[in-house]
Amino acid sequence: MDLDLNKFRTLIPINALYEDNLLYLAEHARVERYLQGEQIFSIGDNDPDTIFLMSGEVRLMSADGDEILVSAGSDRGLHALASRKPRRYKGEAISQSATIVRFKSSLLDRLLAWGHFSPEFTTPADQELLDGPNAEESEWMMSMMQTSAFTRLPAANIQTLFTQMEEITTKAGDLIIKSGDPGDYYYVIKQGRCRVTLPSDTGEVILAELGPCSSFGEEALITDSVRNANVTMLTNGKLMRLSKEDFLALLEAPLLQWIDYPTLIKMAAEGAVRIDVRFRREFDHNGIRGSINIPQNQLRASIPELDRDKKYIVYCDSGQRSATCAFLLSQEGFDVYVLEGGLSAITSE
């Protein structure tokens, strides 16, 4: 069933979105039709959706018997139906038929978090912002919004994140990160491709090749150490970079989940997979029984072999190496936890 975009644009706060963002939301929305007497949602539902009435009439009824009638196009009908969760009302169609549109609440929150509001929220000095990002900016932002890292960020962080990112233009052959240098920025590729290499006595070992929306540079920031690899542009391109301070506040903190050892034991008993990210000899010496060993420098290549339906707990000696690995897995959409303090925080299994 097609979505009536003209009506969709009038809904609140959807009417505050830029056109590109609105169309993106519409593409990820689902239209449903209900006949008279059919139930749309129940009291106590804790679904992740926001629901708007597009046509017809709906009755909302609370557990106490209070009734609210909502007609499409009315003032009340411009707002989401029973938006508080768990839902406090049952909703049913009372017209011959009723049409609703639903989409993930988190998606709307993230789109609104960009701060792209309608004219009533702006001043003349902000007029340039009302036009929204250009096509290139919009395409990149939309691509970033679909990455696993961004879907897990609090909505409040996203506007600040985009605001604080600085764009730099690069050429093929440019050395972006040099091994041994201090960590200063986190990078996201906006355009182009780059190569990650590790210096060695016999030359350079290629660790990875990265393309648009891929990121790099987090390890030195998380561990507060120097860079341990080179990153070189393979093509002309554009990078977005974020300072260490902003990275730690806006990205690292929200994405990392720390647990203590008793919680590790409990989660492992419930099926969580423990990953020792140290080198093999370290793991053989005193790894936690029942763990698997994926050294930090092999983790990125091992991601396709991991089960995305499982929970993972990563650990090392101190928590620093494992924090870097957890950040990488979080960016890839895994449900991952870090043993706080690493093995140094426990005396025995």
Q: What is the pLDDT of residues 228-242, one digit of tens each?
A: 889 999 999 999 999
* pLDDT higher than threshold 70 for residue 122: no
pLDDT of residue 45: 95
Return mean pLDDT, the chain.
Answer: 86
Tell me which of 125 and 258 has the higher pLDDT. Answer: 258
pTM for the model stands at 0.56
Question: What is the reported pLDDT for 137?
Answer: 67
Amino acid at 84: R
The tens digit of pLDDT for each residue in 264-318 reads: 999 999 999 999 999 898 899 889 999 999 998 889 889 999 999 999 999 998 8
- In this predicted structure, the answer to whether residue 21 has a pLDDT above a threshold of 80 is no
How far CA 41 is from CA of 63, 86, 89, 130, 194, in Å, comes to 13, 11, 8, 36, 48
By CB atoms closer than 10 A (0-12, 13-18, 19+), residue 55 is: middle
Question: Tokens 């620093």 label which residue?
Answer: 320
Sequence-ordered alpha helix ranges (H) in 237-343? 244-247, 253-255, 261-269, 280-286, 299-302, 320-331
The stretch 102-114 carries a mean pLDDT of: 78
Could you give the domains of the chain?
5-110 (2.60.120.10), 144-252 (2.60.120.10), 256-345 (3.40.250.10)
Sole residue written with tokens 């639903």: 102
For residue 103, give the 3-state DSSP assignment: strand
Tokens of 96: 């011959």
Residue 89 — pLDDT band, cuts 50, 70, 90?
very high
Q: Can you list the alpha helix ranges (DSSP code H) found in the chain? A: 5-8, 19-27, 105-112, 127-130, 135-145, 148-151, 155-164, 218-223, 244-247, 253-255, 261-269, 280-286, 299-302, 320-331
pLDDT value of position 331: 81
Separation CA 290–CA 19 (nearest Å): 52
**pLDDT, position 24:** 83
Least confident of 168-172, 254-258, 271-275: 254-258
- Cα 210 to Cα 208: distance, rounded to the nearest angstrom: 6
Q: Which residue has the higher pLDDT, 331 or 110?
A: 331
Query: What is the rounded distance in angstroms from the CA atom of residue 338 to the CA atom of residue 267?
Result: 12
pLDDT number for residue 349: 41
- For the cut 50, the answer to whether the pLDDT of residue 117 exceeds it is no
pLDDT at 187: 93
Confidence of residue 149 (pLDDT cuts 50, 70, 90): low
